[in-house]
A and B are shown apart, each in its own frame.
Chain A
């Protein structure tokens, strides 16, 4: 979908922000650019929609070189969300969302129905919020509108630069969770820049860790964590290692069960099963343990999908044991490989 080929950016003052970067972002994935501040992640992001032009190298989007297109045309096909949101203060919420559709000359009715749909999608009531000015919204609401605005013209690619950076921890958590589930529904290629490793682990399918403009490693969160390419990658995650490991390992990883064998439920779930109680195998250990803390009396039950009988029952410490087993096994595999 997006292909970087030995892309270098040297700024006028002589600093090399990005140094011979090559990678490929696949269609439909959420791709994270992470690293310390000043590592070149934002510059890399801005080169995708040509807010920054590379000094050398090429960037292909959907197979065609980005420089072959008019930059404005290109940007209208790529959603863009930034930390400070940047809503137009003199426009209403609805007008803000309508910005790109207007540039693309959509007709009024289509714009109106689209913005209503988007407001609902980001969890804001259209009737209450359409005509409001951005100043009257909270930070979280503004970021939701910013997201709706980026999605307005249904662009296949969305670039996000620290989208939750300016939010307080509670709002951040809530919006991050909503966005995470939203991303799963809308099937877009998303490029996310963040300095928050937890955020990147939670949201991204793959990560690219940059340092001083150079790519250090590219891969899934688990790969970066368990198979660091060099000392920098290893030390980058060192201070939060345990938490990150829990975040990167899913239930299906530690259960090693074949797909389709059983369904997972909080117990006692047998009668009156609830949607909420179903535990998806791709949930991370971190979230499961977190929830378990709030349900101390309940074990995690594994129920046979067809026969509806309990195959196994796991408690807090069982899960941690299995997690340790999984880690040991991984390490062995790594040494063998």
Chain B
């Protein structure tokens, strides 16, 4: 509690910014949804033919998982506030359209018939009879949409739209519950607050409707415009950074100091970054050097000429007591040691990301080329669970290990891949929730152990030195054993579009820093 309070106090400026962004996203989308949803609902009541398709369509939109909807927005609208607002608008549409439709339809036919019989025109019936009577129902729809939007807006941090989701996702990636709470608590309070205020309004809607709705609309438009303009008005060179990298010891802060880099940061989901780079929504990303999309999108990895990033050799890790109890499993796993080069791993990733092959099929084919047995495929209750992070490579490796263990031992293997963030996977391992996952030496050094700066400096860029230090320390501190490395390295890397990099003559990270500082002077 005290920690949370301290965190909030020391980050109050950022929380306030995020809150304003959050309100902005919620209400801009809500206003658009109201402006379109209410007339759409009315149209559905007037034309029975339209009502089915309209209500069906908005209903289907609602069933799309919000994270998937944001994913669909990405190739169309890129990243930032625009796709987020469009997605939120689509979510807000259903409750508003449906409640407008049913609100108007629930007005008793005897009432509208008598209105017509008395000589009211269609417009008069709508304004004086139907809308006033349907207002409570329509308002309830708006209220529901608001609460939904406050919640879904947290996801918008994934596509660089800002909002309170930034802390939440950073917190998830780092397994930092204080940070998650610092984002989740204000979001929950916002939802409750809006619900309460709108609830008050709803009950007295007839009395306050006119003056309040005008006032509210004006205030909201201003807040919205302000907050959105701050998000939109970035046409400089931008860098897309996954939340985990922002907070890591070998992360963004160190990188900017080492190279004297200075450019606006857009926080976004690691798996959406490449797409965003390809769509020119950002110009540089911090990605992984073996990612298949580097080949697929024709991207360029900038050379780390000042050796900022430590080596990231990939090796499976297990608990020491597990290694002692299951020597045959260790033997099976070690069959793959030294068998995958960085280039091969990139190709395997590309086969999945670019060519759309299944991870399992790719893994199987590669093992067959290496002349391993792959026939056995057990379906029973798993004896061993293999974990993995949310990266294509980790999925492929998990499948390879599964096949090896099932073919060379008598055990059943289950998969728990796709876990978000190093800390989460590592904690799962130490808590015996999984028995094995592939980790990277650089990550082990900076995230799991963090030694003093002198130690990291002394290790430098020496692959073997880093591996030995990490293996030794992990055993001592966590009782974790690092098995033999697979052979490839997957380092963090600054990645640009090849075309733009060549056009600007940027080969290394220093080139990029020079280009940016030169740009500033102009």
Contacts and interface: CB of A to CB of B under 8 A. Distances in A.
Contacts of A85: 110, 114
Interface in B213-259: none
Given A88-B129, A89-B133, A75 B111 contact: no
Interface string A68-88: 000111111100101111111
A80 B120 contact: no
A103 to B, nearest CB: 6
B117 A82 contact: yes
B327 interface: no
Contacts of B114: 80, 82, 85-87, 146
A17 interface: no
Minimum-distance CB pairs A-B, first 4: A86-B114, A75-B119, A84-B110, A80-B117
B119 A72 contact: yes
A90 B117 contact: no
B344 interface: no
Contacts of A90: 132-133, 206
Interface in B30-52: none
B209 to A, nearest CB: 12
Interface in A211-263: none
Nearest to B121: A72
A206 interface: no
Nearest to A71: B119
Interface bin, chain B:
10 to 19
B410 interface: no
B108 A51 contact: no
B108 A149 contact: no
Interface string B55-85: 0000000000000000000000000000000
B119 A51 contact: no
A86 B108 contact: yes
Contacts of B121: 72
Contacts of B111: 86-89
A59 to B, nearest CB: 16
A94 interface: no
A99 B118 CA distance: 8
A118 to B, nearest CB: 14
B488 to A, nearest CB: 72
Contacts of A18: none
A80 B118 contact: yes
Interface in B420-456: none
A211 to B, nearest CB: 25
A100 interface: yes
B116 interface: yes
B115 A86 contact: yes
A159 B112 CA distance: 16
B114 to A, nearest CB: 3
A89 B118 CA distance: 16
Contact of B120 (A103, A149, A150): A103
Interface string B177-208: 00000000000000000000000000000100
The interface centre, meaning the residue of B110, B112, B117, B206 with most chain A CB atoms within 10 A of its CB, is B117
A200 interface: no
Contacts of B113: 51, 82, 86
A71 B119 CA distance: 7
A115 interface: no
A86 B119 contact: no
A51 B132 CA distance: 23
A66 interface: no
A75 B116 contact: yes
B6 interface: no
